[in-house]
Chain A
Amino acid sequence: MRYSSGAVEALIEEFAKLPGIGRKTAQRLTMHVLQTRRSEVEKLTSALIDVKEKVIRCSVCQNITDLGVDPCHLCTSTGRDRTVICVVESPTEVLAFEKTGHYKGLYHVLHGVISPLDGVGPDDIKVRELLVRIGPSVSDEVREVVLALNPTVEGETTSLYISKLLKPLGINVTRIARGIPVGAELEFIDEATLSRAMEGRSAI
């Protein structure tokens, strides 16, 4: 079924391109927009344009920030421990760590992981920018780099790669623990995770 209005049809097509949105939801959203006041719709359009015009990557940590706020507020904050940098794959993971409220150090976003199969090499992600932050010319005394990448083969490759570059600089390179989620019951954990957890056991 096609609508009698070409404009409605075009908007449905655009909505349906978004991730997680099927045609039915796209129709519902379009009908909603159609019935909303003009001022509200203008707010939405300007918010969409703003994202493209005003969002940039922080020149220090590569996390997303607003135009004019560079370095970002996390990098300039005085309340943070400047001796630790946590390396993550994408901005959503910064958010995940911030939600914990426990980590008080700085971040570095790589925007990807090394994967030769997909043609992604170390120069295609923000590894060089990380080295610049740690080099001898920097006033901040970074003592530890925490690698918080996904426990996949590609995440592992990236972790090992970075640690290979940082170790000679005298930096303490660590990796977040992997194993059993908090609140989970042991009997339902799969065998591979459980054996990894056993290998990585720690003294109490």
Chain B
Amino acid sequence: MRLKSIGIENFRNHRHLEFDPGQRITNIYGCNGSGKTSILEAIHYCALTKGFSGNSDRDCLMFGEEVFTIRSSFESDQGSETKVAVAYAPSKEKRILVNEQELQIFSRHIGLIPCVTFTPRELVIITGGPAERRRFMDTAICQYDRKYLSDLLQYRRVLQQRNALLSSYGDLAAVETSLEVLTDQLVTHAVEIVAARERFISSFSVMLDEVYRWQPDCAKSAITYHSSLHHHETQLSKKEMQAQFSERYRVLKKQELLRRQTLAGPHRDDLQLYLNGREIRKFASQGQQRAFLVAMKMTMHAYLHEHSDEMPVTLLDDLFSELDAKVSSVMLETLSSKGQVIITSTEKRDGNDITYFSIDEYRKTSGQER
């Protein structure tokens, strides 16, 4: 998939902007606050129906304006065109049109335009709490496995019900059977979720290690899934998992009744990230952490490509601010062989076959004041 053109109106600090990226690498540059990231966010809207995580639609609307619109045109690897338009006004719902047809269910659109992003704020995947890493896994799996999402939603509902029961029970004998039933349900969904995550991580980890080879010092990377329900190196069948999880809840029961909440399950699981056998969060430098995240994103790119026929679009926000020149040039080369890359920076970046887009010059020529 390739972005051919995008037109933005009243989006963040862009009153009106037209942008046609190049075939391979496009470098958007401009001074601080000129709106480089906003262009990437607009592309993100067209691909995944929303802005970067944590930003609401309302935040993206230009101050004092009623509605923002984004019109974009994508070209698939086979050459067919997909037009995506997004319009949002606070008084109405967000509307998305794909090839002039209004989209009824937004989740159906996800996956059509595969898209991999890198923004500095995503560093929390490495440095932040377990919830960030679970979100990384869940969004990745949801892009190609639809059943996973429904298992996840059902699991959350059962968990809510179970926690409600645990927090409100008065007499244990009266709720014993209810608790057993909810535990059984929790286990059924947990098995599906943990199995899907383990499957994903085991192949992701292998791919990541391959991607990591571009690192000059030839570091060895690994990701492991850490389940709060069992500790097994080998993959178990779903039946064995079911038995183990039930056993685990049986052991935890007394404590759960005392603390009045569910103490284990996929909602408390984590990923462990290693570089040369050491945990990254604790022992790697800022630059190494950043490089590792980039490697994870590149692996995601390869993984998505393997699971869909389209080459993903890659959006890199301010990637080079902390990577050394050697790493970044190797990276750029690897990425450009794999479809379209749009990258922002404060300074113009030299390189072969790069299309440049200067926001400051664009504003001058189009006669717009900042």
Contacts and interface: CB of A to CB of B under 8 A. Distances in A.
A191 B147 contact: yes
Interface string A107-123: 00000001111010111
B184 A160 contact: yes
A154 B164 CA distance: 13
B18 interface: no
B161 A121 contact: no
How many of chain A's residues touch chain B, expressed as a range?
20 to 34
Contact of B185 (A117, A121, A153, A191): A153
Interface in B134-191: 146-147, 149-150, 154, 157-158, 160-162, 164-165, 168, 174-175, 177-178, 180-182, 184-185
Contacts of B147: 191-192, 195
A70 B165 CA distance: 36
B160 to A, nearest CB: 6
A203 B183 CA distance: 31
Nearest to B147: A195
Given A157-B161, A157-B181, A164-B181, A121 B175 contact: yes
Contact of B180 (A123, A156, A164, A192): A164
Contacts, number: 52
B163 to A, nearest CB: 8
Contacts of B162: 116
Residue of A114, A116, A161, A195 most packed against chain B (CB within 10 A): A116
B181 A153 contact: no
**DSSP majority for the A interface?**
helix
**DSSP majority for the B interface?**
helix
A161 B183 CA distance: 11
Nearest to B168: A116
A47 interface: no
A67 interface: no
Contact of A114 (B146, B174, B178, B184): B178
B157 A153 contact: yes
A21 interface: no
A189 to B, nearest CB: 11
A165 interface: yes
Contacts of A157: 158, 161, 178, 181-182, 185
Given A121-B175, A192-B150, A154 B161 contact: yes
Contact of A164 (B160, B161, B175, B177): B177
Residue of B174, B175, B182 most packed against chain A (CB within 10 A): B182
A191 B158 contact: no
Nearest to A199: B147
A115 B181 CA distance: 12
Interface string A139-153: 000000000000001
Interface residues of B, number: 22
A117 B164 contact: yes
Interface string A151-192: 001101100110011000000000000000000000000111
Contacts of A122: 177-178
Contacts of B150: 191-192
Residue of A115, A153, A165 most packed against chain B (CB within 10 A): A153
Contacts of B157: 153
Given A153-B185, A157-B185, A160-B185, A115 B161 contact: yes
A160 B153 CA distance: 19
A165 B154 contact: no
Given A153-B154, A153-B157, A156-B185, A161 B164 contact: no
A186 B147 CA distance: 16
B145 to A, nearest CB: 9
Contact of B181 (A161, A192, A195): A161
Nearest to B180: A164
Contacts of B149: 192
B174 A121 contact: yes
Given A115-B161, A160-B185, A191-B150, 20 more contacts: A116-B161, A117-B161, A123-B174, A153-B154, A153-B157, A153-B161, A157-B158, A157-B161, A157-B181, A157-B182, A160-B181, A161-B178, A164-B177, A164-B181, A165-B177, A191-B146, A191-B147, A192-B146, A192-B150, A195-B146
26 contacts: A116-B164, A116-B165, A116-B168, A116-B178, A116-B182, A117-B160, A119-B168, A121-B175, A122-B178, A123-B174, A153-B157, A153-B161, A156-B185, A157-B178, A157-B182, A157-B185, A160-B181, A160-B185, A161-B181, A164-B177, A164-B181, A190-B146, A191-B146, A191-B150, A192-B146, A192-B149
